[in-house]
Each structure stands twice: as C-alpha cells, then as structure tokens.
Homo-oligomer: A and B are copies of this chain.
Amino acid sequence: MNPPPAEIGTSVADIDTPALVVDLDALDRNIAKMAEFSRTTGVRVRPHAKTHKSAAIALRQIAHGAVGQCVQKVGEAEALVRGGVKDILVSNQVVGECKLRRLAALAQDFGVELGALVEIDVGMERCGVLPGKDAAALARRIADAPGLTFRGLQAYHGRAQHLPTHQQRAQAIASAIDAVRETIDALKAENLDCEIVAGAGTGTFTMEAESGVYNELQVGSYVFMDTDYAKIGNKDGGLYTAFEHSLFVLASVISTPTSERAIVDAGLKSYSAEKGPPWVHGREDVELTNVSDEHGKLVLGPKAKRLKLGEKVWLIPGHCDPTVNLHDWYVGVRNGRVEVLWPVSARGASI
C-alpha cells in the first residue's frame, strides 16, 4: 500500500499529487439526499460499494439509514466485513469452490444461512436467467438446497442508467418492472415468497421506487457522480443533476510548454478514460484533450488564464468506479483542510 498523499490537518494546497480527493460537504449532502428519499418513500436503500470500495463511506451511508451494502466480489465483502459492515449482498455471480468457501466462511461469522437472490435479465443482456418460469425453476432449486434460502430477485437494468432521454429510461424500467411482475407470479405458482426485489441505479432509482415491486435500491454513483452521468444531466436534467460532484483527482501542472498547452501529472493510472477524459472543475476555459499513462494534456482556450508550473487542477473523473480502484487513499477535505484519510479498503479486491 502506497503512503497517503497528505496528512490530516494540512492545507488543501499541500496535498501531493495525483490524489483522490473527496469534498466531504458534497459527499454528506449526496448521502443525506438519498437517505431523505428512502425515508419519504419507504423504499430501502442498499448502496453499492463497487463505487467507493470504502468501509468508512459504507458506514456513513448506513448511519444515514442504508440497510447495508452491495458488493460485486467476495474480496469486497471481506474488506467491508473487516471494516465493520454487517449486512452485505453480493449482487453478482459467485463461481468456484474457493470463492464459495470464503463466502460461506464470512456468513458463518454471523451465524446465518446463506440467502440467495435469483438474477433475472431485465434487458441488460448480461447475466441472469429469463424472467418468469426459468427464474422460478432456479428459485425452487435454491429453496430445496441445504444451507441456502431463497430470498428474492436481483433485477438490475444497468444499460438503462445511461440512456440519454427520460423517455428511453422510463421505457426500459417499465419493461424491467413487467419482467419482475411476471417472475413474482411464477414464484407464487411455486409457493415461493419473494421477500427482496433489488435493482436500480443512480439514473433511474425513482422509477424502481415508484414501481410498487422493487423494494431495495442498489444505487452507487450518487455518492460521487462523474462526467458520464453529468453529460446526460446537462442535456436531460433529471436525477443526474440531483447530486453533486464530490470526487476529484487532484493533479499538478508539470510542464507549460506553450501558452495554449499545459501538462498535468495524472493520466490513465490515476483515472479511467474509457468514458472520455476528465473535466477540469471550475475551469471551463481549459479542456483535457489527450490522456496518456501518466500525463494529461490541457488545452487552454484563447482567453484562458495561463496555468503555472506546480499549479493544482481538480479533475472530475469520467467514470468514478474504476477511478477509485486505482487509488489507495481517499483524502477527505472540508473548509480547505484535510479532515480524514480513508483507505480504499477494497482496492483491487477483484477475486
């Protein structure tokens, strides 16, 4: 584990770079807003730790009423359990004896049987069985298996989160809701009770919450937001503008070769770029145009104030989840000071 890029109490100006910085005020407002939504609608929120990979942030969400956490990997579950999180759903297929043994060991720590959800394909065309009879047949096998309890359905529509218009998202989620209803009916015919219907993301969660069938929201990105969500929000408003950017990659200018160009010390090893380069926060006159492994090229507009050698820029990542996974530490800042250093507890925990 690399050393943290700052000490608690130091000024923001003294954070070494590149650093993964969290604006704690913005983070807290995002968490409070989702908690308020859960309270007023009565729909449970189980945020996805694949986004933040942090026990500290998980506990903050739980303190604000979240019922627990989702993870994608057994290693993430192990990291969160070590960090004090007690209620975890692995919202992904767990395949192989080694991983299943580790999962069982974690569950036995709390003296419970392993509950299982059946994933149905609600339009994402990734994992999951077909809704209806196929799902009910799998649920029956789980219910009849020793050591397992059938708990409900995993019905996440990932693609819907990134559809460009409200109408497209509403259509996609309406179709997901139909698939869930059909499956609940098929489960009833098998005398199986469907306690949990889980799904939803930051782009659509109000739709699932209003459905009357989904009762657990697996929202992730709302804590941080990123440009991938912001691009939709800028055109279409909606949920994408309900939350604030709280996650930044802090970078320093290491070269100013011309008046139109400045180079920063953060590239593909500090933020993921498959959704495009990051934005420069608070500097609409500056665009990050070229990304290489350890560099980002900033192009300055004709009237832009020149950047100085050593000057810091705040980058908003294109995609928050894989960006977080590159860092060992969150530097949490408030009022211009470093308030907390949180380890990215499940960084690299992909197994």
Interface residues of A (CB under 8 A from B): 1-2, 5, 16-19, 50, 72-73, 75, 92-96, 98-99, 121, 125-129, 158, 252-255, 257, 261, 263, 265-266, 268-270, 272-274, 290-295, 297, 309-310, 319, 321-322, 325-328, 347-351
Judge whether B274 and A291 touch: CB under 8 Å. Answer: yes
How many chain copies does the complex carry?
2
Cα(A267)–Cα(B294), bound, Å: 21
A81 to B: closest C-beta gap in Å: 15
Chain B positions within 8 Å of A326 at CB level: 325-326, 348, 350
- New A-B pairs, 5, CB < 8 Å, besides A2-B75, A16-B99, A268-B319: A93-B263, A126-B297, A127-B263, A272-B272, A326-B326
A-B contact pairs, 8 of them (CB 8 A): A16-B351, A17-B96, A19-B351, A72-B293, A95-B254, A127-B257, A128-B255, A269-B321
Judge whether A16 and B50 touch: CB under 8 Å. Answer: no
Judge whether B294 and A72 touch: CB under 8 Å. Answer: yes
Judge whether A5 and B351 touch: CB under 8 Å. Answer: yes
8 nearest A-B pairs in the assembled complex, by CB-CB distance: A127-B255, A93-B254, A268-B322, A72-B294, A95-B254, A274-B274, A273-B274, A269-B325
Judge whether A50 and B293 touch: CB under 8 Å. Answer: yes
Give which listed residue, B75, B255, B270, B291, contacts A93 with CB less than 8 A. B255
Cα(A125)–Cα(B297), bound, Å: 9
Cα(A156)–Cα(B135), bound, Å: 57
Given A5-B351, A292-B126, decide whether A16 and B96 contact each other with a Cβ distance below 8 A.
yes
Given A92-B294, A322-B293, decide whether A268 and B274 contact each other with a Cβ distance below 8 A.
yes
Cα(A295)–Cα(B50), bound, Å: 12
